[in-house]
Amino acid sequence: MPAIANQWFAILCATALLVGCERSTTPSPSQANVPPPSVNDVVGQLEGRHCRFAVEPLDACAPRPMRGPLDWAFTRHEDRWTCPTGAARCLGKMGPSARPAVPALIKALASGTKDHDTGDGVIPVRSSIIAALGRTGDVLAVDPVADLLPDEPDAYAALEALAALGPPAARRAHDVSKFLQARIADEQGRQARCARAVQQLDYLLANDAVVERLKREHPAQTRFLVSPQEHASALAALDRTTQRYREHREGRCRDLVGEAAVLALAAMQCEACLATVVAALATPDIALQAAWSLRAQPALPQGAEGALKDVLASPIHGPLAKQAARQALDYVGR
């Protein structure tokens, strides 16, 4: 039996070596001079016909690094997610020159492909496809992307893509405004998200406080164990009235999806779009991005000056939003 087991082990190793004989962990010297891929080549990878281009975001459009036997054995089962993700990233990097790929991207989006959670992280297949559609700048991408807004898992990526599409997406501004208004109206949901974020913040700050104290008491040590009693005591002693704590809290409670909607509306550059951005100033967890977006406009839209002054006088807006509102007002006479 041991001899048979050894034979099978040898066969498996030989198979891995044969499969990986053309794969190494580093690209060959000739790859440095490889011309950029054509749109059709990348679409081929998106559609599953091959996987010749890199799957890592920083290497988009580069030839895929060759994998050694062990790397191949451990990662090949993920190719069905990583390969189309790499193709979508490459098309996104191409920008407007990838417009011929828009029909293929729309087809991939319609197939129902989802982002894949491996347990160690998420392979953003669907998100990368949505992002690529936005970066093409093609008006044909507007409706397929905007139609995703009611779907919460896709909303953030869709809003970022609409922002990338810019003014051509303005005909769907009503959908973005409606989405943002619904999110603002969901006060219970916003409070629950903020409460969870603040709970995490308090836990980390209390832990840091104990570790800093232990460092002072035991300067020769490099590792510390925080007991539950020490952590509970530090948690009870947290001063939540300081400027530093309020800034941390405000940063943690920011509604990133709502902010993405504000960015999309600002990028569309239509009068109705900016009116919704002005209205978003009244919501503390979105006001920071709304003020930033208004500051970037050539001129403040109607009603913006008064709304920005309301932020400065508000007892519920945080210091970061107030600072952004003040900066936006400084540009009134721009």
pLDDT digits (tens, 9 = 90+) for 294-306: 998 888 889 999 9
Same domain, 55 and 122: yes
Q: How would residue 173 be classed by pLDDT, with cut points 50, 70 and 90?
A: very high
Nearest 5°: the CA angle 92, 95, 101 is 70
Residue 26 has pLDDT above 70, yes or no: no
Quote the pLDDT of residue 22: 41
With beta carbons less than 8 A apart as the criterion, state whether 149 and 174 touch. Answer: no
Over residues 211-218, the mean pLDDT reads 94
Among residues 235, 253, 271, which one ends one of the domains? 253
Quote the pLDDT of residue 218: 93
Asked if the structure places residue 52 within a domain, the reply is yes
Asked if the structure places residue 103 within a domain, the reply is yes
Same domain, 260 and 230: no
Asked if the structure places residue 131 within a domain, the reply is yes
Residue 240 has pLDDT above 90, yes or no: yes
Over residues 1-9, the mean pLDDT reads 50
Same domain, 226 and 265: no
Cα(first)–Cα(last) distance of the chain, in Å? 84
Same domain, 124 and 105: yes
Same domain, 92 and 192: no
Residue 20 has pLDDT above 60, yes or no: no
Among residues 93, 108, 136, which one ends one of the domains? 136
Same domain, 99 and 23: yes
Nearest 5°: the CA angle 112, 118, 121 is 105
2 exposure class (CB count in 10 Å sphere: 0-12, 13-18, 19+): exposed
Same domain, 42 and 122: yes
Same domain, 199 and 130: no
Reported pTM: 0.81
Nearest Cα residue to 102 out of 137, 128, 126, 127 = 137
Same domain, 75 and 94: yes
With beta carbons less than 8 A apart as the criterion, state whether 242 and 313 touch. Answer: no
Quote the pLDDT of residue 68: 62
Give me the number of domains the chain comprises. 3
Nearest 5°: the CA angle 170, 172, 174 is 100
With beta carbons less than 8 A apart as the criterion, state whether 181 and 191 touch. Answer: no
179-203 per-residue burial string, b: 16 or more CB within 10 A, e: under 16: bbeebbeeeeebeebbeebbeebbe
Same domain, 271 and 248: no
Asked if the structure places residue 326 within a domain, the reply is yes
Quote the pLDDT of residue 195: 94
Same domain, 68 and 112: yes
Asked if the structure places residue 159 within a domain, the reply is no
Range of the domain at 72: 19-136
Asked if the structure places residue 289 within a domain, the reply is yes
Among residues 223, 253, 283, which one ends one of the domains? 253
Rg (CA), the chain: 25
Same domain, 226 and 267: no
Q: Which residue has the higher pLDDT, 316 or 79?
A: 316
Average pLDDT, the chain: 87
Asked if the structure places residue 114 within a domain, the reply is yes
Asked if the structure places residue 11 within a domain, the reply is no
